[in-house]
Structure 1
Amino acid sequence: MVKSMSVLIIGSVSNDVLRLQKYFHRIDIKNVHCFTTTEAAMNYLLDDLKEDLDLVILDAKLTLKNCEEICQQIAELQSWIDAPILLSTTYEKSITIDRVFEAGIFDFILKPFDFTHFKTRIQVALKYRGEAKLRKQQESSIQKDLFIAKKFQKNALSPALNLKHIQIDGLYVTSNTLGGDMYSWFKINDDLTAVLLYDAMGHGIAASLVTMSIKSLLRGIITRLIDPVAVIHELNHQIYELFSDEDMDRFLMTAIYILIDTKNGTLHYVNAAHPSGFLYGKYGETVFLPANTPILGLFPTIQINKKTIPLSGWHRIILYTDGLLTLNEEQVIDLDFFHSYASQDNTYALQKFSQKYDLFENEYSDDITVVSVTITLQGR
C-alpha cells in the first residue's frame, strides 16, 4: 500500500469506526478522517483534503426501513466527491443490497469484521481508484491536446480579405470535438480571386488531420491551376491518393470553389456535393449555387461540372457547411438575413448573424462555418 493513501470513515458506532481505523493502520494507511455524519464530513473536511481522499467508508446498519435514507447519503457523497464508496454493514435483505448498489456504492465490507475480507475489498477498491485517476489524467491530457489542435486549426483559417472590388470574411464556430471544416481564399492577381470552403466527412482527430493535410496543399494547387475544374480535379486526386491505404477508411470531402473575375465580371464555380451557396443581388434577386459535381475522394476520377454566372454591380455570396443546417431542429436558419445587412461589411453581418442564433453560446456536435463574400463592380 502507498502511505499517501487517504480515506474517510463516516459512522456513528464508535467501536465499529475504531475497528475500521485500526484495520487501515494495519495495511499502512494512516491518514484516516472520521466523522459521525455525512453532513459533518462535507462541512468540515477542507477542499484540499477532500481532493486527496481515495476511499469513503459509510458505516451503517442497513434495513428496509432506513434503506432510502442511506441511499440519499450515498447520493450526497457521490455529488461531493469522486471516490469509491464502500458500505460497512451486515446483510439484511437482497432488496436492500440491490438498492444501495443502484444508488452507487462500489462494494461492501461485511460485519462481523474479518481482516482478510476487509483487506481484499480495500485492495480492489484502491486498484479501481488508481485506474480511474490514471484515466482522468489521460483524459485531461487529451483535452488539452484537443484544445491546442482546435486553436491551431482555427489559426489556419484565412483572415479577412479587403480588396478594391472584393471583401471576404468567415465565421467559424468549433464543435465539442475536432472537426473537418476549413475555408481559404487567395488573391491570384489584380483580376482573379479564389475562394474555397470544404468539409471533411466525419468528426474528431481523423477529420481534422484530413482537413489540415489538404490545407497545406491549397496555395500551391489554387495559385498554380486557378481554374475550378482543374483545382477540383487535383483536390479529388490528392484526397484519393493520400487516404487510399487499404488499412484506412476512405475519407470523403465536400467542397465549393468559386473563382471571381472582376475584369470580365464573371463568377465560375464548382460545387462538389456541398450545401448550395447563395448569390444575392442588389435588389434582392437570389441565384443558387447548387451541387453539380460528385463528392471528393470516392473515385480516382470524377465528372466535374463548372458553371459561370455574370456579375454586375453589388453582390453578396454566402457559403456554409452542413453544421449550420443541423444547428437547431426547431429553428429555421434564415440566410436571407445577410441581404438585409447589404449596407454593412461582411464582418459586421457575420457578427450579427452569430448573435441572432447565439452561435457562440452553445456546444455543437459539428463545426459551423459561414463565409461571406461581397463584390462591388463599379460601372457594371
Structure 2
Amino acid sequence: MSVLIIGNVSNDVLRLQKYFHRIDIQNIHCFSTPEAAMNYLFNSSLKEELELIILDVKMTLKNCEEICQHIHALKNWIDVPILLSTTYEKTVTIDRAFEAGIFDFILKPFDFTQFKTRIQVALKYHQEAKLRKQQESMIQKDLFVAKKFQKNALSPPLNLEYVQIDGLYVTSNTLGGDMYCWFKINDHLTGVLLYDAMGHGIAASLVTMSIRSLLKGIITKLIDPVAAIQELNRQIYELFSDEDMDRFLMTAIYILIDTKNRTLHYVNAAHPSGFLFGKYGETVFLPSNTPILGLFPTIQINKKMIPLSGWHRIILYTDGLLTVNEQNSIDMDFFYTYASQDNSYALQKFSQEYNLFDNDYTDDITVVSITITLQGR
C-alpha cells in the first residue's frame, strides 16, 4: 500500500506522515506539486500500488479554480481517492472541490481521530471500487466469450446447386437475442429460420441459445412450416413459463424452399417483413401472418405459398437493422442492385453502405440473404 502526499514541505506535511505511521501505513511519497507527482508516477511502478492521495494546500477563494484543476488532472491520471487537506471551511469552495473530484477533506488543525476515520473510509472505498472493477472486468471477459459462442452458433454459408444462403451479424454492445440457422433437409428441401428473442442482455442470449439447440431436430424432422413453428412456440412457452420468470417472447420467420416443386412456403410470426425480389425487379413482401411466439401454448399459424421461377433473392432481417439511422428505414432495393453478385458480396457492400461495423449499437443487427437460381449454375 502506498500513499502520495502533495504539498510543500511543512509541519502539516510532516504531521500527516507521522499520522500515517501511527495507523501502520509506512510507504509514503511526498511531492511539492501535482506535476512532480505525476511525472514520478509515469516513470515508476508506484501507480499500480497507490491507494490514496493527500493534497495539502492553502485554499482560498482566489486560488480555488487552480486547485480544482489540479484535482481534476489527478483524477484523470489515476483513479484513487483524493483527500484535500486545508484550513478553508467555506461551503461554496469546498463544494466546488467536491465537484472537481475530491473524495473527502481533512480540516486543519489536524485531529488524529478525525484523520484516522476519514483515511479508513477512503481506503475502504478504494478497495471496494477496486474489487468492483475486477468483477466488472471478469464479467466483460465472460460476455466476450458468450458473444463469440453465440456468433459461432450461427450457420455458415450454404452453397447448393440451386440455393445459396449467407448471413450478416453485427453484435451490439450487449448480448442480444438474434439468431439465424438453415438446414439442407434433403436434395430439394431447404429450411431457413431467423428469430429474435425479445429484450437484450444475458437473459435474451440464454433464451436464444436454448432454442438454437432444438432447431435442427424441429426443422429436419417436422419440415412443414406450420408444424415447425407450432413446435417452436410450444417449446418456448414450456421452457420459459415458470411463475418466477418473466415471459420470454420471440419473433421468427421460417422459410421452406422446395426446388423440386418450385415453391416457397413461409410463416412469419410477428417478425419484420421479408423481401423477395424477382429477376426483373418485382418485389414480393413476406409480412407477418402469425402471432408472436411464447405467449400462449398453442396459436393459430398461417402458412403462405409463393411460386418460384428462375432467379430470386430473399432478404430477411431483425428489427435492430431499423435503428441504424434516424429515419428507421432501410432501402432493401439495395440488394437488387447486386443481383449479379453472390450473397456474401452483397452483404459486404450493404454493411459498408450503412457503416454497420463502425458504430456501437444497442441491438443486434442481423441480415440473411438467400439466392435461388432454379435453372442451376
Superposition TM-score, scaled by structure 1 size: 0.97
Is residue 23 of structure 2 the alignment partner of residue 27 of structure 1?
yes
Q: Which amino acid aligns with 2:294?
A: G
> Which amino acid in structure 2 is aligned with residue 31 of structure 1?
N
Residue 330 of structure 2 aligns to a residue whose secondary structure is: coil
Between the aligned partners of 2:274 and 2:58, the Cα distance in structure 1 is 68
The CA deviation at 1:331 is 7.2
| 3-state DSSP of counterpart to 2:251 | strand
Q: How does 1:40-79 map to 2 (within 5 A)?
A: 40-45=36-41, 46=43, 48-79=45-76
The farther-off stretch of 176-185 and 30-39 is 30-39
In structure 1, the partner of 2:290 is: 293
Aligned mate of 2:238, from 241, 250, 254 = 241
SS across alignment from 2:229: helix
Give TM-score, length-normalised by structure 2: 0.97
What residue number does 1:190 align with?
A: 187
Partners of 2:27 and 2:100 lie apart in 1 by: 27
Aligned to 1:258: 255
State how far apart, in whole Å, the 1-side matches of 2:308 and 2:52 are.
Answer: 71
The answer on whether the counterparts of 1:243 and 1:250 sit within 8 Å (CA) in structure 2 is yes
**Equivalent position of 2:160 in the other structure:** 163
| CA distance in structure 2 between the aligned counterparts of 1:301 and 1:330, rounded to whole angstroms | 36
* Residue number in structure 1 paired with 2:131: 134
Q: Distance in 1 between matches of 2:7 and 2:116?
A: 19
Q: 1:112 to 1:140 in 2, by over 3 A?
A: same
Q: Deviations over 1:167-221 (max 9, x none)?
A: 0000001111110000000000011000000000000110000000000000001
Partner Cα separation in structure 2 for residue 128 and residue 238 of structure 1: 47
For 2:231 and 2:346, how far apart are their aligned partners in 1?
33
Cα shift at 1:90: 1.3
Q: Distance in 1 between matches of 2:12 and 2:19?
A: 11
Equivalent position SS for 1:378: coil
Which residue is equivalent to 2:106?
A: 109
Q: Judging changes above 3 Å, is the alpha-carbon distance between structure 1 residues 332 and 271 closer, same or farther for their aligned structure 2 residues?
A: closer
Of 350-359 and 211-220, more deviation after overlay is shown by 350-359
CA–CA separation in structure 1 for the residues paired with 2:165 and 2:126: 53
Instruction: Pick the aligned partner of 1:270 from 263, 267, 271.
Output: 267
- In the TM superposition, residue 91 of structure 1 has moved relative to its aligned partner by 3.1
Range 207-216 or range 323-332, more displaced: 323-332
Secondary structure, counterpart of 2:181 in structure 1: strand
**Is 2:2 the partner of 1:6?**
yes
* C-alpha contact (below 8 Å) 1:63/1:92 kept by paired residues: no
Residue-by-residue CA offset, 1:69-92 (whole Å, 9 max, x unaligned): 111111111111111110001133
1:313 equivalent to 2:297? Answer: no
**1:375 alignment partner, one of 349, 372, 376:** 372
Q: For 1:78 and 1:372, locate their aligned partners in 2 and report how far apart those are by CA, in whole Å.
A: 49
Q: Cα–Cα, structure 1 residues 51 and 205, in superposed 2: closer, same or farther, change >3 Å?
A: same
Match of 2:35 among 5, 30, 39: 39
1:284 corresponds to: 281
Match of 1:18 in 2: 14
Q: How many residues align?
A: 375
Task: Give the residue type in structure 2 aligned to 1:259.
Answer: L
- Which residue is equivalent to 1:362? 359
Label 1:146 to 1:78 Cα distance change in 2 as closer, same or farther (>3 A). Answer: same
For 1:89 and 1:211, how far apart are their aligned partners in 2? 57
Deviation at 1:47, TM superposition (A): 5.4
Per mean C-alpha deviation after superposition, the further-off stretch among 310-319 and 37-46 is 37-46
8 Å contact from structure 1 (residues 278, 289) kept in 2? yes
Amino acid at match of 2:206: L
Provide runs of 4+ in structure 1 moved above 4 Å.
Answer: none
Between the aligned partners of 1:367 and 1:38, the Cα distance in structure 2 is 45
Gapped regions of structure 1 (runs ≥ 5):
none
**Where in structure 2 are the equivalents of 1:326-337 lying within 5 Å?**
326-329=323-326, 332-337=329-334
User: CA separation in 2, counterparts of 1:371 and 1:156?
Assistant: 15
Alpha-carbon separation, structure 2, partners of 1:48 and 1:156: 43
Does the aligned pair in 1 maintain the 2:267–2:290 contact within 8 Å?
yes
**Aligned mates of 2:153, 2:44 — CA distance in 1:** 41
Q: Structure 1 pair 327/298, CA: closer, same or farther in 2 (3 Å)?
A: same
